[in-house]
Amino acid sequence: MMQTPAASILMFAAAALVGAVGQFLYKSGADSATGGLWSYLVNVRLLAGVACYIGVMVLFVAAFKRGGSLTVLYPIYASTFIWAAVIARLAYQTPIQPVNIAGMLLLVAGMWLMGRS
């Protein structure tokens, strides 16, 4: 069985954070768009969100190049949901309810279980 390098794990963790920032930028960009096609094409926040997702793909490729198991790496990217909740709390004061925390704990437990050999 192939060992997943720590660098690959860190790149996927970084990709999760960058992906959550991209989601925030999509949301805030959509909020400021007027609805016309041009308002989407020249919207700085939407374009920054696209750049974040390009960054995510670059991190994915770099991580895979270093090696590692899909069953270890992709569950780490699931932490995007946790980062998105934290960003929503900071940016929009969206409450994080006990049920949300329970879901986050289940995500972390699932990531840990998937990463076990």
Number of folded domains in the chain?
A: 1
> How do residues 27-60 score in pLDDT, each as one tens digit?
999 999 988 889 899 999 999 999 999 999 999 9
Q: Which domain holds residue 77?
A: 6-115
**Residue with the two structure tokens 């959550």:** 20
Domain contains 58: yes
What's the burial of 88, exposed, middle or buried (CB within 10 Å: 0-12/13-18/19+)? middle
Burial class of residue 117 in the structure, from the number of CB atoms within 10 Å of its CB (0-12 exposed, 13-18 middle, 19+ buried): exposed
The verdict on residue 91 lying in a domain is yes
**79 in any annotated domain:** yes
- Residue 65 falls inside a structural domain: yes
Distance between CA atoms of 66 and 73, rounded to whole angstroms? Answer: 12
Residue 1 lies in a domain: no
Task: Tell me the torsion sign for CA atoms 108, 54, 26, 14.
Answer: positive
Q: Which two tokens stand for residue 32?
A: 């400021």
Q: What pLDDT is attached to residue 1?
A: 46
Read off the pTM. Answer: 0.88
